[in-house]
Amino acid sequence: MADSPIKNEVLYRVYGVLTILVLLGAVIFAQAVRIQIKEGEKWRTQGQREFIKQMPVDAERGNIFTEDGQLLATSIPVFDIAFDPNSRGMDPLDFNTHIDSLAYLISTYVDSTYTPGGYRDYILQKKEEGKKYIRIKTAASFAEKEMMSQFPLFKLGQFKGGFIVKPHYRRERPFGILARRTIGYVRETANPVGLEGSFSEYLAGEKGKRLMLLADREHDFWIPIDEYETIEPKRGDDIVTTLDMELQNITESALLRAMNHHQAEWGTAVVMEVNTGKIRAIANLGQTDEGWWETYNYAVGAAIEPGSTFKLATMMALLEDEHVKLDDSIFLNKGKMEFYEDKMVDSYAHSYDSTTVRRAFEISSNVGMASMVNQYYNRPSQNGKSDRQSEVYINHMKSFKLHLPTGIKIDGEARPYIKEAYSVQDNWSGTTLPWMATGYEVMLTPLQLLTFYNAVANNGVMMKPYLVESVQHFGEEKENFKPTIVDPAIASSETIRDVQELLLGVVEHGTAKKLRTDAYHFSGKTGTAQINYQRLKKRTKVGGYQASFAGFFPSERPIYSCIVVINRPKENGIYGGQVAGPVFREIADKAFASKIELHRAINRRPTRLAQSELPDMDTGQKRDIGVLLQNLDLPSYGMPGSDWAVLKATRSDSVKVLTRRLENKQVPNVVGMGLRDALYVLENAGLNVKIKGLGKVQKQSIKPGTRITGQQIRLTLG
């Protein structure tokens, strides 16, 4: 019987399907052969790249120390702990024997999210899923890591016990906010900052390498394939800074009190060692939503118009060119004057039509400084030609290095801005020099200005400021950074002596006289600058003020220079003498209380002195003389019959205490007195006092006993 058409059709379909399956199988086989043999090495390599890599191993970052060895920043090791329940070296018997006790200890001492039974079930579930990573704890301390390493099963190690330890380092700053911005940081998500960034090549060390296996793709967790690192990491070097944490704490605390008192926007204070340029303290505070914080290094990075503290540079230019002497008379017009239709007024109201150059500086007269600069350096063109005197003034600013950054080895120093004379690009105009003379139309960072003041304190020798003393490795010095002289003489010795007198005069009887103290002498200049201002036709629209004070102490032999800048104070004053000056004074007071180098030892000489070495003609109040003799344990005789006394060396081993009488309405004898006593006596007597030099009074211009009629008396100190 012939096959039916239906049966044949079915067979054809079966054969067709079979043929397709055979062809498909052949294709699959061919592809498998191609992948396995021809492309096998390629895919095996790619698989290894995805799951096995030679990963970098972080090196321990070096420490940052103060000069006396206190720790500013260090790396604390922390550990990410995980468990591999499917470790290839683990014995199933060990796992089953210890899983209950392991779960109990983890849930009791490490992670209380689960009960012991719940943790056991969680581990078993992950094991059944073939997982090689169970997170136990992130950023565990060394003590916690050591504790867990003794847990059952974990004590068998990584391969037999599945105990995975991934170490890394966390940067710690033991002093918290103190110098935080200066110390800085290095982060993957931000530009490096401060010493951490600038000296990272020393601190970072060298990373090691280790063959690692990807244990958990979700958490990007890699584990070592073997127990040994291929290349050991090398620990970073330590750096020793110039910072003195006692002074740093004093400076930061004083600045913080002022910021709170005045509710300012930001503030900075820097203390520098005069002879070396070492930065002993640097504080930067800005207002944030979380309170005061070191958010930015204003001392190094904020180029600002300095205001009246810049007048020191103006005076030095005038003195260098011998245009003026300190006791020359200048016209002030009661503190109001126009320059090319722009009005200038003095910050402090006064009634001086004219006064001396010295007094104009002491009262910080804008008009006085501007008029002198305008007269000598801003002369009009003659026959269409300029005498280029403005260039002379600008060249003085350059000779004082005010146009250059300090070059301090810390990232982010802003460049200063000093206009080029007659430059169209710099918007030079007829009013540029008068305003530049008073600290406007120039830009300087606080550190750049302090470096200039420090040079004046250092008798004209300009030092490069620096923050790092040395680089060390496990206590062995690898590199040392020495003091660097930028310029051995930024001005003549006569000019330096004159401006030192001026800066002392500002504190003794100028804009900072309320800050002076009987305990010691300090010198400096107040500054009050308008910020965000607009000069309109009839007035100047001011967006706020910036208070500053720059100076040094003690005046007779400066050890430290210091600058304080407080931006936009909103309460309790705006002037430099009210806002920034008290911070300087607090820093100096507490430095004197804590730093022995600021004091002359009272027993630095033997008690028994040669007659020529005994105090001779030293004059002062009787009670002060008594304290002096007692502290020196110096034999004396005589009983003064007034409140003032004179020491006279009349014997080889003792002094006689003589009477110094001060008669009413007669010029007193102040020879032998210190400046403070002399000023007290003469000003109370109604005399106008002018001083020259430092030390004790050596000469007075009016003979003692002369009738007082409000004269001016000049004192020569030495």
Contact in structure between 531 and 305 (CB atoms under 8 Å): yes
Q: Is the pLDDT confidence value at 619 over 80?
A: no
Q: Is the pLDDT confidence value at 353 over 70?
A: yes
Contact in structure between 208 and 57 (CB atoms under 8 Å): yes
* Percentage of residues in the chain having pLDDT higher than 70: 84
pLDDT averaged over every residue in the chain: 85
Contact in structure between 327 and 505 (CB atoms under 8 Å): no
Residue 702 vs residue 575, higher pLDDT: 575
Contact in structure between 458 and 273 (CB atoms under 8 Å): no
By DSSP bridging, strand 655-659 and strand 644-648 are antiparallel
Q: What is the mean pLDDT of residues 283-289?
A: 89
Q: Is 153 left (phi over 0), alpha (psi -120 to 50) or beta?
A: left
Q: How many residues does the chain have?
A: 718
- Is residue 483 reached through a cis peptide bond, with omega within 30 degrees of 0 on the bond before it? no
Alpha carbons 717 and 712: distance in angstroms, whole number: 16
Per-residue pLDDT band at 641 (split at 50, 70, 90): low
Whether the model clears a pTM of 0.85, i.e. scores above it, the answer is no
Q: What is the pLDDT of residue 8?
A: 67
Q: pLDDT tens digits, residue range 133-178?
A: 899 999 999 999 999 999 999 999 988 999 988 888 888 888 877 7
Instruction: Report the run of H or E that residue 311 belongs to, with start and end.
Output: helix 311-320
Q: pLDDT tens digits, residue range 18-40?
A: 788 788 777 777 666 665 666 55
For the ranges 26-35, 324-333, 364-373, 476-485, the lowest mean pLDDT is seen at 26-35
φ, ψ for residue 430, nearest 5 deg:
-65, -25
The superfamily in CATH containing domain 248-598 is: DD-peptidase/beta-lactamase superfamily (3.40.710.10)
Q: What's the token pair of residue 252?
A: 């930061």
Q: pLDDT tens digits, residue range 360-375?
A: 999 999 999 999 999 9
Residue 270 vs residue 672, higher pLDDT: 270
Runs of H (alpha helix) within 470-607: 493-509, 576-579, 581-594
For the ranges 63-77, 92-106, 188-202, the lowest mean pLDDT is seen at 188-202
Q: What is the pLDDT of residue 419?
A: 95
Q: Is the pLDDT confidence value at 457 over 80?
A: yes
Per domain, the residue ranges of the chain are 5-38, 54-62+71-174+205-241, 248-598, 611-717
Alpha carbons 365 and 434: distance in angstroms, whole number: 12
Alpha carbons 698 and 692: distance in angstroms, whole number: 10
One DSSP character per residue, 566-578 reads: EES--SS--SHHH
Asked if 54-62+71-174+205-241 and 248-598 have one fold, the answer is no
Contact in structure between 270 and 548 (CB atoms under 8 Å): no
Q: pLDDT tens digits, residue range 66-80?
A: 988 888 988 888 999
Q: What is the mean pLDDT of residues 225-240?
A: 77
Residue (of 73, 241, 239) closest to 170 by Cα position: 73
Fold of 54-62+71-174+205-241: Penicillin-binding protein 2a (Domain 2) (3.90.1310)
By DSSP bridging, strand 636-637 and strand 644-648 are unpaired
Q: pLDDT tens digits, residue range 536-577?
A: 555 566 678 999 999 999 999 999 999 999 999 999 999 999
Q: pLDDT tens digits, residue range 357-416?
A: 999 999 999 999 999 999 999 876 555 455 688 999 999 999 999 999 999 999 899 999
For the ranges 17-21, 311-315, 626-630, the lowest mean pLDDT is seen at 626-630
One DSSP character per residue, 436-486 reads: HHTT-S-BB-HHHHHHHHHHHHTTT-EE--BSEEEEEETTEEEEE----EE
Alpha carbons 91 and 161: distance in angstroms, whole number: 8
Alpha carbons 659 and 8: distance in angstroms, whole number: 149
Q: What is the pLDDT of residue 549?
A: 98
